[in-house]
Structure 1
């Protein structure tokens, strides 16, 4: 309960690719879809004003998990039978760290929440990196698969320009009589790109699929992809490979 009642704060900073997206939208999006309460905070955020960073996050609350660490209590275990008090109880929290956050920041947050609870009930407390004497009445915290936020990939790189050109070329049929603007964005979920962080900084998470009709079905019942999207995907990646090959000097 204490965890759910104390969510992580959100702020929009220039480190987050979402800020680049917002700046691009401020130039190209119609005013009706990009209100002044957002536009008039961008310059202040760019100048590093902490108040504006918090205000912009509040104005974009529907997008909160693009610039706030998310937490979900996904697993709770305790007890083996109904008429006996559990000797051991555990809970697991799934997190996706914001770009501006860190594993240490998250751990400090949870220690500050749980330590008073242990003290209130006369229990010993063991933090992520502290050891306490053996005590049957204690609360301990531990981390599994702790992963720092992914590095932000550069948009000035030639690799991004090749990607952007391929997107404009292969997805142009989707928006007839309109110009297609490619902007940086953020993939808030963890992906297998963590295995390539030491190999290159040019890591871009993109799939040429329109998820408008199946976004809320991901990982659940009736997850699907439309046939037209299925055909477009291999065409996009084939074009991207050819374009990347042409961009590499021999």
Structure 2
């Protein structure tokens, strides 16, 4: 046999082996989605919508300057809850922490089981001054029109507070009794860190020796057109949230007249440092919660995408390159760098004696503040520039194996039977991080189906929610309480 024929035969053999080795996992990959177990849940929509509508009218606004809090509005909101949900306040133990954080305990039959906690917050961000007229409906009107409820908090996060209370009201009327203790914690300062709300409630629970099986907070949602190759909406459950750090870069040196500049000025050196960081970036790596996301959605993809993600061991470099093309997916696989403040100079013809820049970084699980500082110093390679890094590292990564995560999955599938429910890494912050110390697992999921436009409205103009979405959120909370107690 001629050598070229032998070479072709060997090449064909290797090609067939490659096809078999890569096609096999593609064809045999199993879905990680539990079968939907839809139950008949008849929510009184008129009453539920009325309650959320009124809840929006209370201006429970969080400000960075806590002196600006209007606590009369917070008192009015709490009075509204007591008036609207008398059965909940009668049947459950209610406690106020730091006057405005609300903690409800529903005693279960079996005290040997670890409790489960659901948490949300009722404070909201301010409406940016000058944008009020851009709202189709007044931001604190709670207007209901065309089956939509309008106003600040309809998505973030009075929908969670009122949704949970409506679910409790429904279950109490149904005569439901939990097997385990259930806790419901409502913070009042989440938008400014949660130090007096969720953090204080978590510390109180820690002092009492309470350890949750899991705590569920707001976070990911059910998003349409989220993952390429997946036609169904994808419900993402945060199993960790990225850390948030601030890096301050500064340099001091002689100034002088702009007519005789040095070859490297203070501004130029800081600008050069920023340019180097943006050009270099942190190393990408599809691991942890990001990897978990694609393991859960891969079985639901069309064949081409399924083939690639089922063989990550071969295609990972290609996958990572594709993910880096979009900011949202790039943030899933690396610590991000975002220069936000640059300060230098006051006079057009005078070289500034000082220059500084501030960079916001969102840290991947496993990246420490020390790692970040070392990376910055090594990358900019300028001993004259002082680097200070402060902030928080990523939260712990909760498990996707076992009952806790499956409980969240099952409850979501029972309401949204077409959705693919998967873990992911949350980029923003939430109160969930405060409960890490008192819970085996902390998950982040807002049980509503939204679009990219809805995401922009959460802290922006024209925040609203459809009545259908809101009712489904209530049904989810009913389901997760029931599934948790099976």
TM-score (norm 2): 0.39
Cα RMSD over matched residues?
A: 2.6
Matched, 1:183 2:422: yes
Are 1:10 and 1:68, in contact at CA under 8 Å, matched by a contact in 2?
yes
Q: 1:20 to 1:75 in 2, by over 3 A?
A: same
Matched, 1:56 2:319: yes
Q: What do residues 71-105 of structure 1 show as CA deviations (whole Å, max 9, x unaligned)?
A: 10011122344443323222111111123433222
Larger radius of gyration: 2
Structure 2 partner of 1:75: 341
CA shift for structure 1 position 39: 3.0
Structure 1 partner of 2:54: none
| Larger RCO, structure (CA 8 Å, separation 6 or more) | 2
1:206 aligned residue (437, 445, 470): 445
Structure 2 partner of 1:106: 372
CA shift for structure 1 position 142: 0.7
Give the 5 Å matches for 1:105-184: 105-114=371-380, 116=381, 118=382, 125=383, 138-145=384-391, 147-172=392-417, 175=418, 180-184=419-423
> What is the count of residue pairs matched by the alignment?
208
**Aligned equivalents of 1:240, 1:183: Cα separation in 2:** 16
Give the 5 Å matches for 1:18-37: 18-32=290-304, 34=305, 36-37=307-308
Q: 1:234 to 1:87 in 2, by over 3 A?
A: farther
**Aligned equivalents of 2:483, 2:458: Cα separation in 1:** 32
Q: 1:79 to 1:37 in 2, by over 3 A?
A: same
Q: Which has the higher strand share?
A: 2
Structure 2 partner of 1:10: 284
Three-state SS of the structure 2 residue aligned to 1:144 is strand
Three-state SS of the structure 2 residue aligned to 1:237 is helix
2:473 aligned residue (229, 233, 236): 233
Are 1:77 and 1:89, in contact at CA under 8 Å, matched by a contact in 2?
yes
CA shift for structure 1 position 29: 2.0
CA shift for structure 1 position 141: 0.8
Three-state SS of the structure 2 residue aligned to 1:186 is strand
Three-state SS of the structure 2 residue aligned to 1:156 is coil
Q: What do residues 35-88 of structure 1 show as CA deviations (whole Å, max 9, x unaligned)?
A: 5343322xx27xxxxxx6544312433422111111100111223444433232
Three-state SS of the structure 2 residue aligned to 1:207 is strand
**Aligned equivalents of 1:235, 1:75: Cα separation in 2:** 44
Three-state SS of the structure 1 residue aligned to 2:426 is coil
Structure 1 partner of 2:142: none
Unpaired runs of at least 5, structure 2? 1-274
CA shift for structure 1 position 236: 2.4
**Aligned equivalents of 2:429, 2:435: Cα separation in 1:** 13
**Aligned equivalents of 1:81, 1:220: Cα separation in 2:** 37
Give the 5 Å matches for 1:187-198: 187-198=426-437
TM-score (norm 1): 0.71
Q: Name which of structure 1's ranges 227-236 and 66-75 shifts more when overlaid on structure 2.
A: 227-236
Unpaired runs of at least 5, structure 1? 46-51, 119-124, 126-137
Are 1:153 and 1:203, in contact at CA under 8 Å, matched by a contact in 2?
yes
